[in-house]
Amino acid sequence: MKKNLSINSLTREELSEYIFDLGEKKYRAKQLWKWLYVNGVKSFDEMSDIGVKLRNKLNSDYLFNRLSIDKHQVSKDGTQKWLFELKDKRKVETVFIPEKDRGTLCISSQVGCTLSCSFCHTGTMPLVRNLSTDEIIGQILSAKDSLLDWDNKNRKITNLVFMGMGEPLYNYTEVTRAIKILLDNEGLCYSRRKITLSTSGVVPMIQKLKYELDVSLAISLHAVTDKVRNELVPINKKWPIKELLSVLEVYPGVNNSRRITFEYVMLEGVNDSISDAKKLVKLLKPLHAKVNLIPFNPWPGSIYKCSSDKTIKDFADEVCYNGGITATVRYARGQDILAACGQLKSNSVRLNKEKVLNINAA
């Protein structure tokens, strides 16, 4: 009946409803949820305290699938990248960044991205589609399998960031369903603080996100004037800086100590002057903000250059010491496997494109 739907596309309420409709006891849903998200089993048949009859029914109603790994690379700095092949053969990338005190999994929300920010590789992918809830959850489950990360007392993936391929707020429904699964305290149990959603600034959806889920927020600001931001982040033409910042003034709420992260890619001669840094401070002062400076990560064919180390340091000092806003530099990880911010774009798509070009030339 629902056989082409994966069990991982259900929220806990939906799973409970399904179990209830089957006339099963309520606690069965709880048991099932625990097998899926605490024990991390890979088939219904491993669920030893679920009777054969129910397991058979589950097997006939739902798929139990992990994403298929097309490629798995490990960088010399320990960063890992998976290229997953989806059912329609499209591919997405997921990155794990281990640090001393935490491990961050960078998740994709779309295949490609429609927004075409001029410095981002993902935005150049010709094929774009939204990922479904189970494809988003599947990235976390497959990474946990691969990292042997099912010991919940000693987690390797401690933080989740929607900073992979795609604009998560352009896939609001599926992304928020996936976040509900991640937050569930009887399952994967990630706290709101440990989940960060990064957006290029889809203003109406930011408001909605706050009221519905209240996860941590990162904003890809990257420029302090509309003129420059229109060039770098074209969605700015729709929702300019002033509108974006005004919706953020109400985001964290007075009782909330969490700060909003502002991402700022350092592009030589474009947005990296001291006067830009001063303007940035002025813009962010009314907000509960911190700044993440991202040295530009080049990709084949990109038109920008990364600011020099000295420029980045001077910019950070201006924001931090003179401006009083915390600024950290996010050094690239996994560059040898093209796993850094903005470098994600599956090779398969490049090959396909070349193939199309060749066919056209023939």
Site string for ligand SF4, 210-239 (x = CB under 6 A): ----------x-------------------
**Phi, psi (5° rounding) for residue 73?**
-120, 145
67 residue type, one letter: L
Residues 6+ apart with CB under 8 A from 291: 261, 262, 264, 280, 284, 319, 325, 326, 327, 328
First to last CA, the chain: 46
One residue of 40, 123, 252, 323 binding ligand SF4 per CB under 6 A: 123
294 binds ligand SAH (CB under 6 A): yes
Residue 138 has phi, psi (to 5 degrees) of -60, -35
Taking CB atoms, the residue at the shortest distance from ligand SF4 is 123
In this complex, which beta carbon is closest to ligand SF4, that of residue 120 or of residue 179? 120
Fill in the DSSP letter of residue 172. H
User: Least distance from C-beta 356 to ligand SF4, angstroms?
Assistant: 21
Residue recorded with tokens 């590789």? 121
Give the interface segment with ligand SF4, choosing from 53-61, 111-119, 180-188, 266-274 (CB under 6 A): 111-119
Q: Which of 190, 262, 296, 315 is close enough to bind ligand SAH by CB under 6 A?
A: 296
- Regarding 172 and contact with ligand SAH (CB under 6 A), the answer is no
Concerning whether 341 is annotated as a catalytic residue, the answer is yes
Segment near ligand SAH (CB under 6 A); pick from 134-142, 176-184, 193-201, 279-287: 193-201
The answer to whether residue 132 forms part of the interface with ligand SAH (CB under 6 A) is no
Instruction: Check residue 200 for interaction with ligand SF4 (CB under 6 A).
Output: yes
- Whether the CB-CB separation of 104 and 159 falls below 8 Å is answered with yes
CB 200 → ligand SAH: shortest distance, Å? 4
Which spans in the chain are helix H? 12-21, 27-34, 52-61, 133-146, 172-183, 203-212, 226-232, 241-248, 274-284, 309-317, 347-361
Share of the chain residues as helix, strand and coil, in percent rounded to the nearest 5: 40, 20, 40
Report, as residue numbers or ranges, the catalytic residues.
93, 341
Binding residues for ligand SAH (CB under 6 A): 113, 117, 119-120, 163, 167, 198-200, 220, 263, 265, 294, 296-297, 341-342
